Chain A
Amino acid sequence: MTDPQDKPQPLPELPVISRRTAVKGAFATLGVAAFAGAMSPLKELVTRVSPAELFQQHYQELTAEDKERVLLRLEQEAKQQYGADVTIGDDRPLPGTKFVYAINLSLCNGNAKCVEACNRENNHDKATNESYIRVLEMTKGTMDMGHGNLTYNHEVPAEGKFYLPVQCQQCDNPPCVDACPVEATWKEEDGIVVVDYNWCIGCRYCEAACPYHARRFNWKQAEIPADEVNPDQSYLGNRIRPVGVVEKCTYCLHRTRRGRLPACLEACPTGARVFGNVLDPDSEIRWLLKNKRVFVLKEELGTKPAFFYFFNE
């Protein structure tokens, strides 16, 4: 006879799932997974960006107390990440100043000391030797920057060549400012085009819009040994930039807005660089613009640079 043990156990009753429900469930799962995947950068954001930074307002909308808090936070971050004691100031334009730069191309011999000084002064990445200045070696008699040589590595000045240092021209009609979709970059009263590195979204439109190739993108966090960090910093100037934002030459506003000369000028061994306040009628730069034959780069673009070049007559 049949043993009770042999009696087939009734199969557990599974809920009846229609094909439709299964498909719906599968797609819902997929959807949730896709959503989670799409949102996953937020996880990184949470670890990388503090809430204070995430909710920080645009620089121009910060109150005095806000700024104090922000600068303190940035100083602490620099201490944390680089082990350097830095002071970050909030340097505003001096009333009655309009900065203009000029380079005497007859004197410039392409030794690139300005490039090095810029790297050190502005807390650039030491691994890539980043700098706001590029020196082009150009054949005499030509003015085509597309054919300028950036990689020359020989004794300078070479025969038949001249050297054209190019950095931000602080245009009075800056295309980079127009290109920014979030107004993270703007022109200030003393003519300096600045970037709020904490407002920049890193779209790099400005980099593409600049006809002088003057803007740089922070592909990675700058590597700087603690003793090489320049501790004299400014919010809109040379503070260590976060990764993924655009940076640019600010005429060393952390120096020039405190009355000092830019670092590239002080480093120039040939004395080719002239800097000053063009609104001061007695300034060297004013005399230069009135009496020397100066030219600007790519004048036809209508960018109105505040950066001039001249030759000895």
Chain B
Amino acid sequence: MPYWLDSMCNVQLIRRRASTNAWTVGWLVLIALISFYMIRDMAGARRPVYDLKPAAEAIMAESESAESAELASVDPAPIDPAPASTESAAAVVAVAESTQRTFNETRPVAAEVAARNPKQRDADALKSAESAPATVYPVVIRRPEGPPIIELEQPDPLGRVGKLTCSTCHSVRPPNRERRRAEDLKEFHRDMTFAHGELACYACHNPNDSDSLRLADGQRIAYPDVMDLCAQCHGAQAKDYARGLHGGMIGYWDLSRGERVRNNCVDCHDPHAPAFPHMIPTFKPRDRFLHPHEESTGHDVSDEQED
């Protein structure tokens, strides 16, 4: 045992050897200091403490009141506004946005669409009336443009120029409901890829008005309102969408500072082949742990080797 430790432990030795008392006192002071700082730190005097208590209390109070409210009114009104209903869509949708997406066709300009869609203008007015006092910016849902339109690149054999809509051809050809899929067709649309369940063309396209779509009950619905059409079958996704949990968005989380723009269904899903496409990841961090050649024993890559 070293002499200084000996001197600390052996009381008799300390008594006998006054010279070692200085060591002992020094050690005791050091230990006292260290324990003082440790106790003070553990007591949280100097640690930056993030106080969650008020927030937690607020959440508890809010959830309790919400629960009691839910119990009080069990059935009369659905708690979620039905996402597919036009009223709620009008309340959410504020401004028509021309989108980059095309149905393999060229598009008219946004103003044209807005002019053709009086419901949208109403929604605008509604939203601005609501938002005037609280200065809440809208959540804008991008809307597809109107019915597909093909612009002729050159005059046709009769010298006509202009735009073709679906009804240009379909208004003079009676709808044939026997033709269910693209491959059933004898001419036109034969090269279309279709992978959307067992749906037939006229499940969604309106046989009586080819510039519009139709709901399952036969009701006519305009192309820009296609989300209501999708929501008929994809209720889970529509519900999540209404809650802001489905679909990409940009803009502001804080609507008092700016608007949020959300994609609509057909921004990401091709209506004729709606499965989200496979992608190739193009951006990979290049740090040394991620190079299998440089560090073949790294645990990050062991999975790849096993597989």
A residues at B contact (CB < 8 Å)? 94, 98, 104, 107, 109-113, 115-116, 119, 127-131, 134-135, 137, 139, 146-157, 172, 177-178, 183, 186-189, 191, 256, 258-261, 265-266, 268-271, 274-279, 281, 283-284, 287-288, 290, 292, 312-313
A153 touches B55 (CB 8 A): no
Contact of A268 among B244, B245, B248, B281 (CB under 8 A): B248
| Chain A nearest Cβ from B62, distance in angstroms | 5
B252 touches A153 (CB 8 A): no
CA distance A269 to B253 in the complex (A): 18
Q: Which residues of A contact B254 (CB under 8 A)?
A: 94, 259-260, 277
Listed A/B pairs (28) with beta-carbon separation below 8 Å:
A107-B246, A109-B276, A109-B278, A115-B285, A116-B283, A119-B283, A127-B286, A128-B286, A130-B285, A147-B299, A147-B303, A149-B303, A149-B304, A151-B301, A156-B278, A156-B281, A259-B253, A260-B253, A260-B258, A266-B249, A270-B248, A271-B248, A275-B253, A276-B253, A277-B254, A278-B59, A281-B62, A313-B236
Contact of A129 among B243, B283, B299 (CB under 8 A): B283
| Chain A nearest Cβ from B101, distance in angstroms | 13
B302 touches A147 (CB 8 A): yes
Q: Which residue of B lies closest to A94 (CB)?
A: B254
CB contacts under 8 Å to A, within B240-287, are: 240, 243-254, 256-258, 260, 263, 268, 276, 278-287
| Chain A nearest Cβ from B283, distance in angstroms | 4
| Chain B nearest Cβ from A53, distance in angstroms | 23
| Chain B nearest Cβ from A1, distance in angstroms | 76
| Chain B nearest Cβ from A89, distance in angstroms | 15
Residue of A98, A188, A271, A290 ringed by the most chain B CB atoms within 10 A: A271
Given contacts A261-B253, A271-B246, contact A111 B55 (CB under 8 A): no
Residue of B47, B256, B283 ringed by the most chain A CB atoms within 10 A: B283
Given contacts A156-B280, A312-B236, contact A265 B249 (CB under 8 A): yes
Q: Which residues of A contact B290 (CB under 8 A)?
A: 150-151
Q: Which residue of A lies closest to B300 (CB)?
A: A150
Given contacts A149-B301, A150-B300, A156-B279, contact A177 B287 (CB under 8 A): no
B52 at the interface (CB under 8 A from A): yes
B residues at A contact (CB < 8 Å)? 47-48, 50, 52, 55, 58-59, 62-63, 66, 236, 240, 243-254, 256-258, 260, 263, 268, 276, 278-287, 289-292, 299-304
A177 touches B48 (CB 8 A): yes
Known A151-B301, A271-B249, A284-B244; further 15 A-B contacts with Cβ < 8 A: A109-B278, A111-B279, A111-B280, A112-B281, A115-B284, A130-B287, A151-B292, A153-B284, A191-B50, A258-B257, A259-B253, A261-B260, A276-B253, A284-B243, A284-B245
A155 touches B280 (CB 8 A): yes
A189 touches B50 (CB 8 A): yes
Q: Which residues of B contact A287 (CB under 8 A)?
A: 243-244
A109 touches B279 (CB 8 A): yes
Q: Which residues of A contact B47 (CB under 8 A)?
A: 178
CA distance A149 to B292 in the complex (A): 11
A134 touches B303 (CB 8 A): no
Q: Which residues of A contact B284 (CB under 8 A)?
A: 112, 115, 129, 151, 153
Count of A-B residue pairs with CB < 8 Å: 147
Q: Which residues of B contact A284 (CB under 8 A)?
A: 243-245
Q: Which residues of A contact B292 (CB under 8 A)?
A: 151
Q: Which residue of B lies closest to A124 (CB)?
A: B285
Q: Which residue of B lies closest to A304 (CB)?
A: B52
A152 touches B287 (CB 8 A): no
B283 touches A271 (CB 8 A): no
Q: Which residues of B contact A279 (CB under 8 A)?
A: 55, 58-59
CA distance A102 to B292 in the complex (A): 30
Q: Which residues of A contact B247 (CB under 8 A)?
A: 271
| Chain B nearest Cβ from A218, distance in angstroms | 12
Contact of B268 among A112, A116, A271 (CB under 8 A): A271
Q: Which residue of B lies closest to A154 (CB)?
A: B280
A183 touches B243 (CB 8 A): no
Q: Which residues of B contact A151 (CB under 8 A)?
A: 284, 290-292, 300-301, 304
